Structure formats: structure tokens, C-alpha cells
Structure 1
Amino acid sequence: MQSGEITMIILLLVGLAARSNLISTCACILLVLQFTKLDFLFPYLETHGLELGLLFLLLSILVPIATNRISNRELLYNFTSLPGILAIIGGALATHLNSEGLKLMQIEPSIIFGLIIGSVIGIFFFNGQPVGPLMAAGVAALFFEVLSWFT
């Protein structure tokens, strides 16, 4: 058994322990692809997986608008109210952090294991909600940036 397969099995177990269906499912899918010799799909997943994930995320977010569960009046309120303006600022900051996190993961792919372990710690000890490694990488990139100011 190769180190990548062992790491996927560890991630599967970590995902199960952390009650993170996404981590467990991803580890299982990658193991199945390896064991069935469909690993030629890995480069495609590596280059387009994030885009596919974001596509489905945006689809799920936009369904309430498409089905008229959110009215135009409610949408307008989000542009003119304090909570709405703060949400816009929060969204802009989050996307910037995600961008920095993506850069960090591309430069240092091995950091993903630490991000997942940190997420598990957050779930167990802080009653956190796993939102994915991209945001965790964004926060880590912010920490690295602040640390660079002092070194």
C-alpha cells in the first residue's frame, strides 16, 4: 500500500471520527479511483474540482431566489440595511481570504492535513461547523501574513 492510500484511509477515519461526511466521502471516492485504476482522473479533479464544487455551492445558494422564496424586497433590504451591508463586507473579506487560502494550498499542498486536523479539533472542542479546507487555508494564510510582519 502506498503512502497516498494510507493517508486517504487516515483521512477517512478522521472524517468519520469528526462526523464530517464531506471528508469521509472524498477520501472514499479517491480510494475507489485508486483501487479501480481510474486515477487518470486525478489531474482533471485537481484542476477543475474546485470549480465544480463552487458551481454546486452557488446552485444551492441561488435556489431560494429562483423559487421566489426570497423576494426582491428582501434582496433590496440586504443592500440598504446595516446587517446587509455588513454581510456584503463579510462576503468580500471571506472571498479574499479564500483566494489567499487557495494560493497557500497550491504553494504548500501538504498543509491540507493540518487544516483537516484543525477542523476536527474545532468540531470536537469548539462545537464548530466544517465549511471546508479553503476557508481554513484562508485563515492560515492570514496568520502567515501577520506572522511575517513580526519576523
Structure 2
Amino acid sequence: MIQIPNEIIFLILLLGIGLLSKNQSIVIAVAILLVIRLSHLGDRIFPLLDKHGMNIGIIMITIAVLVPIAKGKIQLQDLIESFKSSYGIIAIISGMIVALFAANGIQLLEKTPQITIALVLGTIFAVVFLKGIPVGPLIGAGIAVTLIKIFEWLKYFFD
């Protein structure tokens, strides 16, 4: 009898969820991971993805966000105008907050890697069932750190 490793079963389950929910990013990501795993290239590729994957993903997202600037659709004047509107100021502050959440998130993931499972599941649920975008683990970890600190502060204050 053929023994199928748990990680393959888990990936196939995620692939099925991605297909049922018609979520292209989950389907493509899981399919790539399955190909790597089943082709026995995982010993070489997974350590690289483990070490550099997050950074590569952030670079790709940053490139995608900066394309309108590179294409000339957003000019320097547009940046200046963003400082003059309340929505622009709110967007700038929001960007700063998200960047701080992500920075704290990286620290949490490095210190407590077991929380990654819960964050990944939360991200998958949000992507599959709520039409979210899977950039959540870093920001999710940052929000988790903030909430944990608030919880610890309240616990200390009220105990």
C-alpha cells in the first residue's frame, strides 16, 4: 500500500479548496509547491523559498505597485497633491501603520514560528471565503503582536 505523506495530502486539500473557490493565487501557489515536492526538488528549492521567499514576494508586490510610476501614469505632482488631501494623508498614515505591523509581524514569526500555522489558515480562509488577498501573514502577525501586547498590558493592569 502506498503511503502518502501528510504534507502532500494537506497541499491537495488546499488545491481542492482553491479550485472550489476559484481562487487562482491559491491554486497556482499550491500547484507549484506540489510540483516541487513531487519532483524531489524540494531539498534544493524549499530552503531557498523558506529563506528568501517572503522577501521575493514583497519585492514582486512592490514592483507591481510601482509600475504606474514607471509607466508615467503617476507623476511627482500626484505625490505632492496626495499631501494636500485628507484622503491622501489617511492613505499615507495607513501605509505607515501597515508597514509597522509587517515589521512587527516578521519578528513574531521569527520568535514563534508555530503561530505561522494559525496565520496561514486565517489567510487561506480569508482568501477562499472572503475574497481576500494573500498578503496577510506578515500584517496578520504584526496585528497579532499588537493585540498580544494590548492583552498583556490589560492583563497586567487588571490583575
Q: TM-score range by the shorter chain?
A: 0.7 to 0.9
Shift of 1:25: 2.0
Residue 94 (structure 1) shift: 0.3
Q: Which residue does 1:65 correspond to in 2? A: 69
24 and 112 in structure 1: CA distance in 2 versus 1, 3 angstrom threshold: farther
| Residues matched between the structures, number | 150
Distance 1:116 1:15, change over 3 A: farther
Residues 21 and 94 of structure 1, relative CA distance in 2, 3 Å threshold: same
Look up the match of 1:31.
34
Give the greater-gyration-radius structure (CA). 2
Instruction: Name the TM-score, length of structure 2 as normaliser.
Output: 0.79
Identity %: 31
Aligned pair 1:9/2:12, yes or no?
yes
Quote the residue 1:41 is aligned against.
45
Is the contact made by 1:122 and 1:128 (CA closer than 8 Å) also made in structure 2? yes
* Partner SS, residue 83 of structure 2: helix
Contact 1:14 1:120 in 2 (8 A): no
TM-score, length of structure 1 as denominator length: 0.82
Aligned mates of 1:120, 1:138 — CA distance in 2: 17
Of the three residues 75, 84, 88, the one matched with 1:84 is: 88
Q: Unmatched 5+ residue regions in structure 1?
A: none
Shift of 1:17: 4.1
- Inter-partner Cα distance in structure 2 for 1:65 and 1:42: 33
* Distance (whole Å) between structure 2 residues aligned to residue 86 and residue 113 of structure 1: 32
Instruction: Check 1:44–1:138 CA distance in 2 against 1; reply closer, same or farther (3 A cut).
Output: same
What amino acid maps onto 2:76 in structure 1? N
In structure 2, runs of 5+ residues without a counterpart are none
Q: Following the alignment from structure 1 to structure 2, what is the Cα–Cα distance between the partners of residues 145 and 128?
A: 29
Letter in 1 for 2:7: G
SS at the partner of 1:68?
coil
Q: Deviations over 1:57-109 (max 9, x none)?
A: 11111111111111222111113332222211111110110111222222333
